[in-house]
Amino acid sequence: MTTADTSLAPRIALVGATGAVGGTLLDILEDHGSPYRALHLIASVRSAGREIRAGGLDRPVRDLAGFDFRRADVAFFFAGAEVSRRWAPLAAAAGTLVVDGSSAFRLTEDVPLVVPGINGALLDRRPAVGLVALPGAGATALARVLAPIVRRWTVRKVVVSTYQPASEAGHAGVEELQEGTRIRLQDPEAPLPAEVFSPPLAFDVQSGTWAGAEPGRAAGGTWAGPPEDGFTEQERGLLEETRRVLGLPGLDLTATCVRVPVAHGQCAAVWVDCALAVDRGALIAALRSAPGVTVHDGAGHATLTPAMPTPATLDDPDRVHVSRIRLSPAGPNGPTGFWLWLVADNLRSGAALGAFQVLGELAARGTL
């Protein structure tokens, strides 16, 4: 983005500018080159005074506690739920429209939960509370894939297993994974750092007890015992957020969320059962027509191929990538169920790009 001397260009505040998602959003703003009147970079007092290069300038990072939100038209919050609960309502009360990337308001009834391209019409009017929420990266990717299927075949049940990276705990999560990997390779018996992930994530996978770190938060989450139903906060969030985005409060969806020793990029194995028989060609066409979705399908679609996307090989991090589309054996009326594999960049397409697209939707509708 570039500075523009026009009242039509927004004044932007970015809370969590030094975090993983905040930095990714700055990259997207640069990539698209849209004009703004002002760009305020905001973080905790620990980061205040640093400088970040943005829009061709070295810009100072300001302390959140001392910032006057009347200086911004829109504020992006990527600093975790605790910060958002405290400061986002204050920013909204100052007249700033808040786009929040934390879990703080995702299930709040009067706060729209938006994925542009699916339910952007929720932004036809400025939210009365001055807040717009973004779903988590997993729900964003899943909703993009399910939306055209729901419209065409009526979904009866969805079963999801997600494989989530260390960067969902921010820079600290990635750094701890990298340090733990280095230590383990040098000395298999040495103790590993475990401030963000406990037990350590290096050379391991975790499911069932991680309470859920949030994109953009510098510190990790905490361990929590399972609730009565046995599902974690992340698993329950994936269910409820996907339901809200698709407008299907009764959607039968169940999930298992697993943390894996990968720095960036999330994956999911998704089983979908529909009320109507599914034609594979029509399914691929529907997925290819979905905004932000790329389908990888060729002669080797039923097996692993070098072209199958992985977190390390995504050719376009702004899109959700779908492959391994496999129909179940046909019943008396034809196949109704199918598997697919999806891969997405959790920082870019899963979080920061959604925030940027919300800004575009607001500007296009004149509701900013």
Residues 259-313 pLDDT 10s: 999 999 999 999 999 999 999 999 999 999 999 999 998 644 444 444 689 999 9
What is the token pair recorded at 2? 């570039």
Report whether pLDDT(229) > 80.
no
Residues 71-121 pLDDT 10s: 999 999 999 999 999 999 999 999 999 999 999 999 999 999 999 999 999
What is the token pair recorded at 23? 């930095």
HSE of 345, CA atoms in CB hemisphere, 13 A = 20
Report whether pLDDT(245) > 90.
yes
What is the token pair recorded at 361? 């939707």
Top-confidence residue, 1 or 153 = 153
Report whether pLDDT(211) > 50.
no
Q: What is the mean pLDDT of residues 51-77?
A: 92
Could you give the C-alpha distances from 310 to 70, 272, 313, 343, 368, in angstroms and in order? 43, 21, 5, 6, 37
Nearest to residue 136, comparing CAs of 351, 353, 320, 322? 351
Mean pLDDT across the chain: 89
Q: What are phi and psi of 351, to 5 degrees?
A: -145, -70
Report whether pLDDT(212) > 80.
no
Q: What is the reported pLDDT for 46?
A: 82
Top-confidence residue, 54 or 243 = 243
Q: What is the reported pLDDT for 33?
A: 78
DSSP category for residue 343: E
Burial 53-87, CB ≥16 within 10 A → b, else e: ebeeeebebbebeebebeebbbbbbbbbbebbeeb
Which domains, and CATH codes, for the chain?
2-135+351-365 (3.40.50.720), 138-346 (3.30.360.10)
pTM attached to this predicted model:
0.90
